Structures are given as structure tokens and as C-alpha cells.
Amino acid sequence: MTRRDSGPARRVVSLVPSLTEAVATTAPALLVGATDWCNQPADLRVTRVRGTKNPDIAEIVRLAPDLVIANEEENRPPDLDALRAAGLTVLVTEVRSLPQAFRELHRVVVEACGLPRPAWLDAAEKTWASLRPADHPRKAVVPVWRRPWMVLGRDTFAGDLLARLGVENVYGNHQERYPRVPIGELTGSGADLVVLPDEPYRFTADDGPEAFPEIPAALVSGRHLTWYGPSLAEAPAVLAAALAPPAPAGPAPARRGG
């Protein structure tokens, strides 16, 4: 739903961490509410309205926003319907690729909130446009959950970012967007890399790589891989550094005689 005819939003509740950061970085005074998962900017001080999957509808209504921003993947339709039934305007974004992310960010920040196009958005577009295709893409599996194992499948924003950085998602053509795949199938998929983000599941050096003993693992920032907002300007450099193959070991030092 687009903004109502009464003009730009002046009180915004965000139910999406990426969009919370986008609005708060651009015009912090507009934001009156956000979810418990909205942790950027680090100094964000707004009313919390619980999580993305269980927002406090009554509290959101009490805040009297003239715009609630949501996402078709992160937020549940029944919750958004309840907000509309309470008379609130709800803008729902859809982000499954980098170009779509840029369009939706412009729609939220510029069109819905009536703000000047932010410099960070131009910087992000310019940075990503400067990338050149990899000569030899690496094939990767990208788990996003464990117990059960779930991976990136088709048509995902994170998969598009990885492709632009020279990493081909082995399950990029799967019929599901986030398929459940047994670990035996993942380890035998022919991947030469496993990409382990720290969200939504928090993979760490001690939780994740050990399940793929024969495949090099890259631990990456979930914010830079899955968020669409100001972090996009630095995401190529941050992700490229995390995805870079380890440097080959140098020659062993010569042994002294004696």
C-alpha cells in the first residue's frame, strides 16, 4: 500500500530491522516505534513493539503512526491485516534482489516519508555498480538455520548479493526459497565453500564449520548479507574480505644446523 494522500509520513513504526536503520539513519525524528530485533543504529531510542513475527498490535495502534513499514517475508499477513483493520496505513516491501532493494528503499525513504534521497543510498548503488563479474565463481551452500538445516534457495536477496561477489549458490535453482536439506546432502553437494552468516541463526567458529569438515567455511556478517539499508554501502568490501580464500601458507622456515 502506498502512502495516503495526506502527505509524507511524520510518525513511522518499522517492523523490519533493515528499514528501521534506513529511516533512523536518514531522519531519526520520524521513527516512533520498532521491533526488539531492530538494533541499528546502535543508539536507537524508540518504543519497542516486540518482534517481527509477533508485533504488539495494541502498542503500535497506541503510538498512532501515520505509516507502518513492513516486509512480505519478515512479517505475517494476519498482523498486517490487523493493523489495517485498526485504521493504520501499512506499506509492505518486497526485496528479492539488489535492484529491487534499491527501488524499495527509494519508495520508503523518498516517496513514503517525503525525505530527500539519502547520500548513503546513492553511495550503495555506486559501490555495487562498480563490481565486475568473477572469472571463476565459487560454488557454495549457504545455511541460514540449523536443527533442521535450512539453506538459501531460489530468488533471495542474499543469493543475489553473493552472485555479484563471485559466489554461486548451489541451491539457487531449488523450487523452494529456503529448503530443508539433510547435512549429508549439503556436504555431498559439490560445493567448494560453505557461507555461514551470523543471522538468522548465529553461526560461529565453534558452531557450524565442524559440520563441513571437508569444505572451507566463511563466517560472514548477516547484517551485510541480508539487510537492505545503509549497510549496503560497505557490504561489498565487508563480505569480500570474509569470503576471500585463505592465503596459502608460506614455505617453512629453514632449520638451523647444530
Position 4 confidence tier, pLDDT thresholds 50, 70, 90: very low
Q: Please give the CATH number for the structural domain made up of 12-117.
A: 3.40.50.1980
Residue 215 in this model has a pLDDT that exceeds 50: yes
pLDDT, tens digit, for every residue of 37-95? Answer: 999 999 999 999 999 999 999 999 999 999 999 999 999 999 999 999 999 999 999 99
**pLDDT at 2 (0 to 100):** 42
> Global pTM?
0.90
Mean pLDDT of 176-190: 97
If one counts every other C-beta atom within 10 angstroms of the C-beta of residue 256, the result is 5
**pLDDT at 133 (0 to 100):** 85
Residue 241 in this model has a pLDDT that exceeds 80: yes
Q: Hey, what CATH topology would domain 134-243 get? A: Rossmann fold (3.40.50)
Q: Which residue do the cell numbers 541463526 mark?
A: 201
The answer to whether residues 151 and 141 touch, using CB atoms and an 8 Å cutoff, is yes
The answer to whether residues 101 and 95 touch, using CB atoms and an 8 Å cutoff, is yes
If one counts every other C-beta atom within 10 angstroms of the C-beta of residue 82, the result is 17
Residue 3 in this model has a pLDDT that exceeds 50: no
Q: What are the domain boundaries of the chain?
A: 12-117, 134-243
* Fold match, 12-117 / 134-243: yes
pLDDT, tens digit, for every residue of 130-175? Answer: 999 888 899 999 999 999 999 999 999 999 999 999 999 999 999 9
Mean pLDDT, rounded, of the chain: 93
pLDDT, tens digit, for every residue of 67-77? Answer: 999 999 999 99
**pLDDT at 232 (0 to 100):** 98
Residue 101 in this model has a pLDDT that exceeds 60: yes
**pLDDT at 246 (0 to 100):** 67
Residue 254 in this model has a pLDDT that exceeds 60: no
Residue 111 in this model has a pLDDT that exceeds 50: yes
Residue 7 in this model has a pLDDT that exceeds 90: no
**pLDDT at 63 (0 to 100):** 98
3-state SS track over the chain: CCCCCCCCCCCEEECCHHHHHHHHHHCHHHEEEECCCCCCCCCCCCEECECCCCECHHHHHHHCCCEEEEECCCCCHHHHHHHHHCCCCEEEECCCCHHHHHHHHHHHHHHHCCCCCCHHHHHHHHHHHCCCCCCCCEEEECEEECCCCEECCCCCHHHHHHHHCCEEECCCCCCCCCCECCHHHHHCCCCCEEEEECCCCCCECCECHHHCCCCCEEEECHHHHHCCCHHHHCHHHHHHHHHCCCCCCCCCCCCCCC
Angle between helices 157-164 and 235-243 (to 10 degrees): 70
Q: How far is CA 97 from CA 81, 104, 140, 142, in A?
A: 26, 11, 18, 16
Q: With the CA atoms of 196, 223, 181 and 218 taken in that order, what torsion angle do they form, in degrees rounded to the nearest 10? A: -20
Angle between helices 235-243 and 119-129 (to 10 degrees): 40
**pLDDT at 1 (0 to 100):** 44
**pLDDT at 157 (0 to 100):** 98
**pLDDT at 257 (0 to 100):** 47
**pLDDT at 228 (0 to 100):** 96
